[in-house]
Structure 1
């Protein structure tokens, strides 16, 4: 199945200070996520942002929040973004069947969101280099579980070029600059 930009939205899960401070290889996760979010912005992909209990875990880190137009995070207490009505309403308003999912922690909020999206008929797209967990094994096990639930697994660069579709355009040149 080809993933087309006009059919695709994104859920950006809990890139918060206190969560990222304990994520394994967080610098790489954030660096790849910056590429992904910048590219999604260039491509005009709508994004919904969650924050897990921001009073205790802090806000979305500024270096990612600044990349999202009209940044308006939605607070949640449920692990799955689909378990919080305002988040689910925002996902539905995107009117997109493919949902890119990235964030932390892979084995908790990201995984439960992916499982719920798949069970609701969406096509979740797990961007593996843009998710993280404290323990690398938890991230790998979450990946397997997400695949069992029906997620498509990809990388930031791969999904951006798939959404771009062709070379020789201004969009292609902008995406190419991001990944180099």
Structure 2
């Protein structure tokens, strides 16, 4: 089961100004989410960005918003994006069976979103190195639980190279600059 740009959408979960800085390795999460957003833009993969209670946790990190298309940020109160009717409707509206998920916290909103999307019939891929939790052990447990439930646990480079599918294209040449 490979990720396919023509069959995927990207979901970035709650990488927000007041939440991001307290995560383990926040810069890695920002860098890898940014790479995913750039690859999605280059390969026409639709994007959704969730924000958990932005009045309290702030907006999405500015560096991610700078790479995001207009109109993709959606507020939520449920921990799971799959439990938020507007987000689930948006993801279904893309008519793409795969959802590639990144964000924070891995053991709360990412986990519940991934499991909920899987239960809703999507093929779900969680990008481990574009996710984090405040406590590393919670991140690791979340990845193990998702994998045991049939969610594919992948890396940022796996997602980008599977979306690219082939070397030598203009898209490959653009993306390889980001990876190096």
TM-score by length of 2: 0.97
Aligned 8 A contact 2:34 2:64 in 1: yes
Partner of 2:150: 150
- Measured after TM superposition, the shift of residue 71 of structure 1 is 3.9
Partner of 1:134: 134
Q: Deviation digits for residues 39-75 of structure 1, max 9, x if unmatched?
A: 1111110011110000000000110011011243111
- Measured after TM superposition, the shift of residue 26 of structure 1 is 0.6
Given the superposition, is the C-alpha separation of residues 6 and 72 from structure 1 closer, same or farther in structure 2, using an over 3 Å criterion? closer
Partner of 1:33: 33
SS at match of 1:88: helix
Partners of 1:97 and 1:119 in 2: CA distance: 12
Partners of 1:115 and 1:72 in 2: CA distance: 22
Partner of 1:42: 42
Partners of 1:100 and 1:169 in 2: CA distance: 23
Partners of 2:26 and 2:147 in 1: CA distance: 23
SS at match of 1:128: strand
TM-score by length of 1: 0.97
Q: How many residues in Structure 1 have an aligned counterpart in Structure 2?
A: 180
Residue ranges of structure 2 left out of the alignment (5+ in a row) = none
Q: Does 1:11 align with 2:39?
A: no
RMSD of aligned residue pairs (Cα, Å): 0.9
Provide runs of 4+ in structure 1 moved above 6 Å.
none
Aligned 8 A contact 1:125 1:151 in 2: yes
Between 1:148-157 and 1:128-137, the stretch displaced more is 148-157
Residue ranges of structure 1 left out of the alignment (5+ in a row) = none
Partner of 2:90: 90
